[in-house]
Each structure stands twice: as structure tokens, then as C-alpha cells.
Amino acid sequence: MQSHTKDFRQGAGAALSDPKIQANLEGLYNGFHQARIDASDQTPDWEALQDKGRAIKAHTLDNLAYYLEMVERNVIASGGHIYFARDAEAASNYVVNLAKERGIELVIKGKSMVSEEMALNHRLEEEGIEPVETDLGEYIVQLAEETPFHIIAPAIHKSRVEVSELFAEKLNVPMYDNIEDLTREARDQLRQKFVDAGMGITGANFIVAETGTVTLVTNEGNGRMCTSMPKIHVAITGMEKVVPSIEDLGLFLRLLIRSATGQRISSYVTTVTGPRGEDEVDGPEEFHLVIVDNGRSKMLADPNLREALYCLRCGACLNACPVYRKVGGHAYGWVYPGPIGAIVSPMLTNLSEAKDLPFASTLCGACKEACPVKINIPRMLLYLRKELTQGETYPEHKSVSMAESTAVKGWRASVSSSFMMRLSNLGGRLLQLPFVRGGRIDRLPSPLSGWTKHRKFPAIASKPFRTRWKNIGKK
């Protein structure tokens, strides 16, 4: 997918000034965010689960080659095909070529964020193959020709009225005024697609190395459709989704599902190991697993960033983030928004182009608090900020303005000693003279004017604390 990360400010501004988007974002705090808190509070030993999940993820990624080779052996042993794609383009080529070779005209898709990295739908359409998104949120987003707004609920930015208008326009159906009718329309529209499609493409929430099993967590039933109806099933996933043993699934399913929606479990958990058995009544005859790198190896190689690969893609950090709850998913400009997106999107696309993403955060830590595997996102944001400013590990992405560097040098001088602090105090008091009224400044000059648009600014104290101390002294 093409990256628009450098348009973050524009995107954020557009979201902030759109009352419909603001209204729809309102629901996140009491919705998904609170649901996760309730679910984790009700889970005995939640923190122990988190620690164990994190330890297993760390172990798996530290030994990723070993476990991917195990996946490979077991997928092949179960009669499946496996393809290791170094990047999105290679992955797309594999899937498109497969579809062409098999004469596929219609593809049904379950939710796959990696397929968004690949802009797969676009590639299929170029070849005259029709891809149809079957997850309700993705279906809406596809009709609207937009990108997903949230990784769990892709169309959450759209009100029922907007969805109604969209369906009426694109599907030539009446304007429905309730959500049940809209859902039924989507179900009816997709029913025949499920029957006719020659290929089903899904993502994978987990890949079990021990058995070569792909695990899908869904609620709607479209994941089951995509893996039961068409003759070919292709699962696409990032290489970091591996867990070692099938006995690890219980733990990870609890962590993922309770963190994503607050449910104890999703309506469906589906495990796929190769194509259908010979005597089975139904199911695909062919199974392909596409495992994608696309820049993840860069994060793997950087000890400061490796833990970003522990991510279960639950969306909890998005729901917890006060910035995401104001600007929504489109502002981030690529596949992964929110706190984890602020690390992953720059690293998988272009760090300096995406420089707004690590900086557009107050480092409040709500994401770290929400993460089921305790990923320390603020620490990585600070690291990326350091990289963008000082360019040590990624010198080609060093991107710092002259103005800011100069300002920091000035700051550094002013804090270099108590004397310099007093001097700066004096200087500051002189500079502020034209602006101060009643101990407050109503308008700061640019580039600080952003502050006073919304707040009064205090005047610098004529007697700073350090001066007053001699009067307070040792009483």
C-alpha cells in the first residue's frame, strides 16, 4: 500500500475538524477500551498470562529461523504449500500468479492487514480478478474505496447513516435505517460470492510451528467461509506471528481476544493444517501459506525494536491512545495506525518520511499499560525520536531542522549552570515584556503561537525559586 505517512498533519487536521469522525471515535473509550479492562480484570492471573505470553514471544523471535523452518516442514508434511516472501511485491506476485494459473476469477477475502501492505486487491484487479472483502467492516471500506480505520473494526469511523448511503449508492438498494438490515444486506450480497469464489484468502492470527497450523480468530463466519468453500485457500501472514507449540494457543487466544474486544472468546476460532483430508466431505483441495518479511527483519535486527514484533495485532493500544482517539486511523497514512503503527509503519516504509508518527505522541504510556504482552511502546518511540534527531543506527534517516537544533543548543546553554539559569530568566523576562498582561501571556509569537491559540501562558517569574531560597533558607 502506498504510504501517506508524511501527510499525518493534514490527516489529523481533517479528522479533528470532522464532527462525524469525532462522534464515531467517541465510542472507543467506553467500548473496546473499557471492555478490555473488564475482561482482563475478570481473568484470573491476567498478569501472569501476560508475562508468559511475552516470554514465549521473545523466545520465538530470538529463534525465528528455527521456528520458521519448523513451520515449513510441517506445512509441507500436511500437504500444504509454503512461500517465504521477502517483500510485499514478492508476496503479491505469488498470489496473483497462483490465481492466474488456476484460472481464478473471483477471490473472497477475510481480514488480512498484511494483504493491505501488499495492496493485493489492487494487484488482483489489475489482472482482471475480482477480490471481495467479506469481513463486514472491510466490505464497507472496500465499497467506500478507503483504507481500514482501525485494525479490528475497519469501518468504525462510519455511522449507520453513512453506511446506509454507501450501500444505497454502490449496491442499488434502498436506504436502510437500522443496522440489522444493513448487515442482512451485506450477508445476502456476499452469500453468492462465497459459493462462486475459486480462492479464499485469509490472514492468520497465529502460526503454530510444531504442527504447521494457521489459527484464525473471527466473529462473523467469513473466515470459516473462506477456508471451507473455495477450492483453494491462501493464508498470508507476517513472519512474526509464529508460536512454538499448539499447546501455547490457549494462552495466546486469551490474551488476544480479551484485549481486542473484551470477549472471553470470539464466536469462531478456526485452525487450518494443510488442505482437507482425503475423505473429508468438504474443504479446500489446496492450501498455501505465504509468510512475509517486508521489512520485519529490520526490526528483528535492531535490539531496540525487536519487541515491536511481539505484537498480537489486538488493537488495544489504539483504543487506549488519547491521540488515536482524536485523529483516528487514516491520519497515520499507512496500514498500521495508533501507537504500534507509529513504530511499525515508519520501519516498514520509510522512517524519515514518517517522522511525524513517533513524535505525534505525548508519551503518556496508556499503550504500554494496555498491551497484552507488555510491549514498551513509549521506549521505542523515544528511540525512534533519537534516531531521527541524531541518526546513529539509521544515519540515512536523520531528519532534524536547523531551527530546532539551534533552539536546543540555546536550551542546553541556559541549563548548563545556575548562573545561566538566572541569566536566561533575566533574558526571558525582558523578552516577554511586550506580551505580559496580569501575569499571563495571551499571544506568543510564532512558532509558539500554537500554545496561545488555546491556552494562556504564564509569565516567567521575576524571582525564580532559586532566588527565593535565600529568604526561605534554613528556617
Partner 1 sequence: MNQTDNAVKASLFVTCIIDQFFPEVGEAAVRVLRRLGVDVEFDQSQTCCGQPAFNNGFWNDAKPTARRLVDSYEGEGNVVVPSGSCAAMLRVFYNELFHDEQDTLRRAQALAPHVFEFTEFVSDVLGAENREGLFHATKPMRVTYHESCHLKRELGVDLQPRSLIKSLPGVELVEMPQAEVCCGFGGTFSVKYADISAAMLNDKIANIQSANVDAVVAGDMSCLMHIGGGLEKQEAGIRAIHIAQLLDERI
Partner 2 sequence: MTERNEFFNTIRQALGPQTEAPNLTGTGSSALGDNSDAVSARSQAIQAYIDEQSGPLMDSLSESATGAGWKVARFDDLDKAGDHIVGIVRDVEANLVVRSRQDVLESGIVEAWLASLGVDVVPMALGEHSEHTVDELRSLAERADIGITGVDYAIAETGSCVLIPSAQVSRLVSLLPPIHIAIVQRGQVLPTLDELFTIRRRDFLDGNLGSYMNLISGPSRSADIEYTLVTGVHGPGEVHMILVG
Q: Which of 4, 33, 109, 254 binds partner 2 (CB under 8 A)?
A: 254
Beta bridge partners of 81: 288
Chosen residue from 369, 426, 427, 430 binding partner 1 by CB under 8 A: 369
| Spatial contact of 269 and 217, defined as CB atoms under 8 Å apart | yes
Least separation in angstroms between residue 333's CB and partner 2 is 22
Single out the residue of 56, 31, 157, 100 nearest to residue 374, CA to CA: 56
Give the residue, chosen from 90, 166, 168, 360, that forms a contact with partner 1 under the rule CB under 8 A. Answer: 360
CA distance 223 to 231: 14
Of the candidate residues 6, 187, 231, 326, the single one contacting partner 1 (CB under 8 A): 326
- HSE toward the beta carbon, residue 258, CA cutoff 13 A: 23
Site for partner 2, residues 288 to 347, rule: CB under 8 A: 293, 297-298, 300-301
Q: What is the dihedral of CA 97, 99, 100, 106, to 10 degrees?
A: -150
Q: Which three cell numbers stand for residue 403?
A: 531551527
Among 174, 277, 322, 445, the residue binding partner 2 under the rule CB under 8 A is: 277
Distance CA 440, CA 321 (A): 31
Between residue 283 and residue 322, which ones bind partner 1 under the rule CB under 8 A? Answer: 322
C-alpha 471/C-alpha 475 separation (Å) is: 9
Helix (H), strand (E) counts: the chain: 24, 13
DSSP-assigned states of every residue in 89-126? HHHHHHHHHHHHHTT--EEEE---HHHHHTTHHHHHHH
- Identified binder of partner 1 from the candidate list 86, 411, 430, 443, rule CB under 8 A: 411
Q: Which stretch binds partner 1 (CB under 8 A): 41-49, 205-213, 260-268, 354-362?
A: 354-362
Q: Which of 423, 404, 406 is nearest to 415 (CA)?
A: 423
Choosing from 38, 47, 69, 165, the residue that interacts with partner 2 (CB under 8 A) is 69
Nearer to partner 2, 304 or 432 (CB): 304
256 binds partner 2 (CB under 8 A): no
Among 389, 394, 397, 436, binds partner 1 (CB under 8 A): 389
The reply on whether position 423 binds partner 1 by CB under 8 A is no
Q: Report the site for partner 2 in 18-57 (rule: CB under 8 A).
A: 24, 27, 31-32, 51-52, 54-56
Residues 367-426 close enough to bind partner 2 by CB under 8 A? none
- Within 154-193, the residues that bind partner 2 by CB under 8 A are 154-156, 158-160, 163, 179-180, 182-184, 186-187, 190
Segment interacting with partner 1 (CB under 8 A) among 152-160, 234-242, 292-300, 384-392:
384-392
- With CB under 8 A as the contact rule, which of the stretches 76-84, 128-136, 167-175, 453-461 interacts with partner 1? 453-461
What gap in Å lies between CA 210 and CA 75, rounded to an integer? 10
Query: CA-CA distance, 333 to 295, in Å (whole number)?
Result: 17
Binds partner 1 by CB under 8 A, chosen from 120, 329, 361, 375? 361
Q: What string of DSSP letters covers 270-336? A: EEE-SS--TT-SSS-SEEEEEEE-TTHHHHHH-TTTGGGGG-----HHHHH-TTHHHHTTGGG-SS-
Q: How far is the CB of 376 from partner 2 (least distance, A)?
A: 17
Number of residues that bind partner 1 (CB under 8 A): 65
Q: Does 431 engage in binding with partner 1 (CB under 8 A)?
A: no
- Considering only residues 12 to 31 of the shown chain, the ones binding partner 1 according to CB under 8 A are 12-13, 16, 29
Closest CA to 291 of 75, 48, 42, 51: 75
Phi-psi group of 441: left, alpha or beta (phi > 0 → left; psi -120 to 50 → alpha; rest → beta): beta
Q: Which of 404, 406, 426, 427 binds partner 1 (CB under 8 A)?
A: 404
Which one of 249, 308, 327, 384 is in contact with partner 2 (CB under 8 A)?
Answer: 249
What is the rounded distance in angstroms from the CA atom of residue 413 to the CA atom of residue 405? 12
In the block, cell 478490555 appears at 36
Question: Interface residues with partner 1 (CB under 8 A)?
Answer: 9, 12-13, 16, 29, 322-323, 326-327, 359-366, 368-369, 379, 382-383, 385-390, 400, 404, 408-409, 411-412, 415-418, 420-421, 425, 428, 440, 447-448, 450-451, 453-461, 463-469, 472, 475
